[in-house]
């Protein structure tokens, strides 16, 4: 891929993030790469939507799509992906847990033609906030369970940071079905079935506590096992 021709589509699903949304948009805009910022507000009720509309009016967001009802992270990513045009796409959460300063490492294998998708792993040595033991165990178990079906050797299937060639991602997009956090095992399964070349690179991680607004919970973890079975065995 010609680095000069690179256009990065930043897919940002947002729900009730009024305390962080302006800062993450500033961080995204600060990364020195040609980009389009595609934000999908998943029916926020805390004032986030109004902030996003102001950012769009100022030209700080390229595309803003508003969901009329709360449909979930996976649905928001599908909407953003359908509206994207870039040669590379990357998912960026709005909660400051993932740092856009890590993008160059994620983009390198795509730019030099070695990869079709790159996952940013929180477990390959990058700096991270020390938080929940059972969350890390859950992530490890889910990743291993996913690997058993995809025959991949990922260390962090549940990572938000998944960068993909735009043509590969948009080819998969019509088949995506998950509305909530099942997006992660689903996109992994579909990339594996498409025989995409997947790389992993270490990324930093500043996880939030539930008091700080973390939304994923144990029910999503249990559901992830079903999603892994569903999308690997039944498509």
pLDDT at 159 over 60: yes
**Total number of domains constituting the chain:** 1
pLDDT at 127 over 80: no
Mean pLDDT of 193-218: 79
Rounded to 5°, angle at Cα 138 from 96 and 227: 90
Q: What percentage of the chain exceeds 90 in pLDDT?
A: 77
How far, in Å, are 10, 62, 106, 153, 191 from residue 118 at the CA level? Answer: 14, 24, 6, 13, 11
pLDDT at 101 over 70: yes
**Which pLDDT band, with edges at 50, 70 and 90, does 217 fall under?**
low
**Which pLDDT band, with edges at 50, 70 and 90, does 1 fall under?**
confident
Q: Which of 2-16, 73-87, 187-201 has the lowest mean pLDDT?
A: 2-16
Of 124 and 14, the one with more pLDDT: 14
Could you list the residue range(s) of the whole structural domain that residue 127 is in? 3-234
pLDDT at 160 over 90: yes
pLDDT at 213 over 60: no
Torsion region of 43: left, alpha or beta (phi above 0 gives left; psi -120 to 50 gives alpha) = left
Q: What percentage of the chain exceeds 70 in pLDDT?
A: 93
Q: What's the rounded Cα separation, in Å, for the pair 132 and 112?
A: 36
Mean pLDDT of 168-195: 93
- pLDDT at residue 223 in the model: 82
pLDDT at 235 over 90: no
**Which pLDDT band, with edges at 50, 70 and 90, does 60 fall under?**
very high
Q: What's the rounded Cα separation, in Å, for the pair 64 and 62?
A: 7
Of 15 and 4, the one with more pLDDT: 15
pLDDT at 116 over 90: yes
Of 128 and 103, the one with more pLDDT: 103
pLDDT at 215 over 90: no
pLDDT at 219 over 60: yes
- pLDDT at residue 5 in the model: 81
Q: What is the CATH number of the domain that holds 12?
A: 3.90.550.10
- pLDDT at residue 208 in the model: 53
This prediction has a pTM of 0.90
Q: What's the rounded Cα separation, in Å, for the pair 91 and 191?
A: 15
Tokens 């996913």 identify what position?
A: 146
């Amino acid at each position: 891929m010609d680095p000069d021709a690179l256009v990065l589509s930043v897919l940002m699903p947002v729900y009730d993030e009024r305390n962080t949304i302006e800062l993450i948009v500033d961080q995204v805009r600060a990364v020195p790469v040609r980009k389009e910022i595609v934000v999908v507000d998943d029916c926020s009720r805390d004032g986030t939507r109004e902030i996003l509309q102001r950012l769009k009016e100022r030209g700080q967001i390229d595309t803003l799509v508003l969901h009329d009802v709360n449909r979930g992270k996976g649905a928001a990513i599908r909407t953003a992906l359908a509206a994207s045009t870039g040669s590379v796409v990357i998912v960026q959460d709005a909660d400051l847990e993932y740092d856009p300063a890590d993008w160059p490492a994620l983009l390198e294998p795509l730019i030099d033609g070695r990869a079709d998708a790159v996952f940013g792993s929180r477990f390959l040595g990058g700096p991270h906030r020390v938080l929940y033991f059972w969350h890390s165990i859950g992530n490890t178990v889910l990743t291993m369970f996913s690997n058993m079906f995809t025959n991949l050797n990922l260390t962090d299937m549940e990572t938000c940071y998944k960068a993909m060639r735009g043509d590969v991602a948009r080819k998969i997009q019509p088949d995506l079905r998950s509305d909530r956090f099942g997006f992660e095992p689903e996109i992994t399964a579909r990339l594996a079935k498409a025989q995409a070349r997947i790389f992993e690179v270490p990324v930093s991680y500043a996880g939030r506590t539930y008091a700080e607004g973390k939304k994923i919970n144990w029910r999503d973890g249990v559901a992830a096992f079903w999603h892994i079975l569903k999308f690997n065995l039944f498509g």
